[in-house]
Amino acid sequence: MVATSSSTASTDQIRLQLRSWPEVETYLERCKGVIVPLGSTEQHGPTGAIGTDALTAEAVALEVGRRTGVLVTPAQAFGMAEHHLGFAGTMSLQPATLLAVIHDLVLSLARHGFERIYVINGHGGNIATTKAAFAQAYGTAASRGLPNAAALRCKLANWFMAPEAMALARELYGEREGHHATPSEIAITLQLEPSLLSKHRPLPEAAPAGPIHGPDDFRRRHPDGRMGSDPYLATAEHGARFLDVAATALSGDLQRFLEEPAG
């Protein structure tokens, strides 16, 4: 499942939304892989962008696609963010809705001949539901009699959980990385969108992470939306480093995924 013979492709070349259907058919003759960026539209503290999870997932996905030549779909920017609904601007899908969306996207791609669906995720709240969607998609592909049902494979790659990205976060921020509105993810948004620097400012100590039970409980325990993080530590230069280490790790993971036998 070789995507390209060159070392890198242009970003425009690997964006599915800029291709025509004959170009996609030609692509499928040499590669059955595709990258799906998955994020969320939710609060990221008083200074972080609401689109952080979608922005970071798409940026990493496009860089992985550029390095590997694998097509990248438009980002699915809405995820399971029910626990953030206590903050203005958050837009959430219920777990059942997200499951249906991921399931239908996988089946749409599989119908055309894609066999390796690589989802690059930027939001922890999507993980369990996305894995459940994969399991359901396998069953549906088989029951519908898709010719490639037995060869269909899906994989979830959480860029922020790549060991190299986690190591860099520890090196730069230590315990102040926290668990939500983290400086690592904010750093990437600063690198992508320089206008966000105008909101960047020191903040009081964040409430520590802990169990939460719904949006009202989250708002009570974490009044400004952060969980133990200090996003003011983030810089655009850090963001470029995180983007590079995440893309490097996931590019290798994707290549191995493409080369895995179906059986």
pLDDT grade for 209, boundaries at 50, 70 and 90: confident
**Is 3 part of any domain?**
no
CA distance 165 to 181: 15
**Is 125 part of any domain?**
yes
User: What DSSP letter does each residue of 170-194 carry, written as one string?
Assistant: HHHHGGGG-SBS-HHHHHHHHHH-G
**pLDDT, tens digit, 9 for 90 and up, residues 25-74:** 999 999 999 999 999 999 999 999 999 999 999 999 999 999 999 999 99
Instruction: Give the residue numbers spanning the domain of 244.
Output: 11-259
**Is 1 part of any domain?**
no
pLDDT grade for 5, boundaries at 50, 70 and 90: very low
Could you tell me the CATH number of the domain that includes residue 48? 3.40.50.10310
Element holding 73 (H helix, E strand):
none
Number of independent structural domains in the chain:
1
Mean pLDDT of 109-133: 98
Query: In the 8-state DSSP scheme, what is residue 198?
Result: G
Cα 163 → chain centroid: 15
Q: Which of 94, 54, 56 is nearest to 77 (CA)?
A: 54
As a whole-number percent, the residues of the chain with pLDDT over 70 amount to 97
**Is 6 part of any domain?**
no
**Is 5 part of any domain?**
no
User: What DSSP letter does each residue of 15-35 carry, written as one string?
Assistant: BGGGS-HHHHHHHHTT--EEE
pLDDT grade for 262, boundaries at 50, 70 and 90: confident
